[in-house]
Amino acid sequence: MILIKADVHLHTCLSPCAEITQSPKRVVQKAFEKGYNMIFITDHNTTANSIYAIKAAREYPSLSVYPGMEITSREEIHVLSLFENFTKAEQLQTELNNYLPDVYFEKEKEQQIIANELDEVEGFYEKSLFSAVDLTIEEILDLIHKYKGVAIAAHIDRQSFSVLSQLGSIPENLKFDALEVSPNTDLEKAKDIYKEYSTKYKFISGSDAHSLEQMGKVYTEFYSESNTYSDFIKFLNG
């Protein structure tokens, strides 16, 4: 068994709220320097930069990089969608694009940078990534599971953009696979604060890093046979 040090919630320069220096190559390099052996790239409503992070990670055999998204529902609830491979993630992305508006202004598009594994700008994303997807949270969870992804309620302790801030509780019909706690709340303390959910859901921590400096402060640890996606799923289900 080895200790897995994982960050399930990382942004790149493709997220309009992230710093321009947060390129896929630099995120992967910083993750390696911080001693991670598993990360998920979760830009807002898009997977476009995750493929380049996966390519950049070829220089670091000890680090597994997986694609994902932080999706915003119609109710303005953030949910992390995590995938084993880019093909499934991209299939979900294609479907979600039907429910995302185009960018409103040229300046907005310029903040959504698609950067490759060599730190070169490939282009700019033309959907408004800061907007909500015109689907309910239940519909989004169904789509994530349709494409074999994991659905995690993002930063449940935040006063905005969380399932608890928007709905007040977690309805029984919402099939989350785990609950994420932000860097603002200690994981063990969160299990006490939200103890009505602690026996039903696995609680995990993610950095939600929007800059390189924010990486490494909060992460999820667990013991496993390897740093594969399948072992991550075993951890969530354990």
Task: Give the number of residues written for the chain.
Answer: 238
Token pair 């019909």 in the structure block, residue: 173
Residue 113: Cβ-neighbour burial (10 angstroms; 0-12, 13-18, 19+): buried
- Count of beta carbons in the 10 Å neighbourhood of residue 60: 16
Residue type, 124: F
Mean pLDDT to the nearest integer, 87-109? 95
SS3 (DSSP) at 49: coil
pLDDT level of residue 118 (50, 70, 90 thresholds): very high
pLDDT level of residue 112 (50, 70, 90 thresholds): very high
CA distance linking residue 126 with residue 128, whole number of Å: 7
pLDDT digit string (tens) for 127-160? Answer: 999 999 999 999 999 999 999 999 999 999 999 9
Beta strand 203-205 with 121-124: parallel, antiparallel or unpaired? unpaired
CA distance linking residue 28 with residue 34, whole number of Å: 10
Q: Six-digit token pair at 201?
A: 């859901």
pLDDT level of residue 238 (50, 70, 90 thresholds): confident
State phi, psi for 137 to the nearest 5 degrees: -60, -35
Q: Six-digit token pair at 207?
A: 């950095």
Structural domains of the chain, with CATH: 2-237 (3.20.20.140)
What DSSP string describes 70-122? EEEPTT--EEEEE-SSHHHHHHHHHHHGGGSPBPSSHHHHHTSEEE-TTS-EE
Token pair 């068994």 in the structure block, residue: 1
pLDDT digit string (tens) for 12-49? Answer: 999 999 999 999 999 999 999 999 999 999 999 999 99
Residue 182 confidence (pLDDT): 96
Residue type, 43: D
- What pairs with residue 38 in β-bridges? 6, 64
The percent of residues in the chain predicted with pLDDT above 70, rounded, is 100
Residue 60 confidence (pLDDT): 97
Q: Give kind and range of the element (H or E) at residue 69.
A: strand 64-72
Sign of the torsion angle spanned by Cα atoms 41, 147, 123, 100: negative
Q: Six-digit token pair at 144?
A: 């994530």
Calculate the average pLDDT of the chain: 97
pTM of the model: 0.96
Mean pLDDT to the nearest integer, 82-94? 96
Q: How far is CA 133 from CA 50, 77, 122, 207, in A?
A: 19, 10, 24, 23
Q: Six-digit token pair at 57?
A: 């990670």
81: closest CA among 38, 44, 132? 44
